[in-house]
Amino acid sequence: MDATSTRTDTCGGLPDADRRPDGQDSYTISEVAAFTGLTAHTLRWYERIGLMPHIDRSHTGQRRYSNRDLDWLDLVGKLRLTGMPVADMVRYAELVREGDHTYGARYELLEATRRDVRARIEELQDTLAVLDRKINFYADAGRALASERPR
């Protein structure tokens, strides 16, 4: 990051090939649904519960999403994958909207989520080890049975 750039909290969003240049980044709800895999109903619900920031509207009242909105939806998708409760995601969104003075609270919320994810990964690794042992047992047993069969 050079000295003239500002620090922003962004995520991936759209692949560069599908991304429109800033200033020309006006996406309809159906385009966003196609990009994200979310339904239009879900996108409207996210807005209603405060998980999405204010979405701009066209002169006819249709929602117009920006690249920044798509980046936010990408983060929300990642938070959903962590198992973060919707209420915590909404709280995080509120903290972001409140401004920089909430960095500490955001840090704590994300740190707690990371601890939960790491614990779940550890549980899944233990489960995977059990499955590997069982699979190896049945593979060995299958080979042993096959070698005992008369040909």
* Statement to judge: residues 17 and 74 lie in one domain: yes
Q: What global pTM score does this model have?
A: 0.75
Are 69 and 28 in contact by the 8 Å Cβ rule? The answer is: no
* Total number of residues shown for the chain: 151
At 146 the pLDDT is 82
Same-domain check for residues 116 and 150: yes
The tens place of each residue's pLDDT in the chain, 151 residues long, gives 334 333 444 444 555 657 777 777 889 999 999 999 999 999 999 999 999 988 999 999 999 999 999 999 999 999 999 999 999 999 999 999 999 999 999 999 999 999 999 999 999 999 999 999 999 999 998 888 888 877 6
Tell me the CATH number at 30: 1.10.1660.10
pLDDT at 13: 55
Total domains in the fold of the chain: 2
Structure tokens at 43: 């996108």
Shared domain for 77 and 27, answered yes or no, is yes
Assigned domain for 133 exists: yes
Does residue 121 fall inside a structural domain?
A: yes
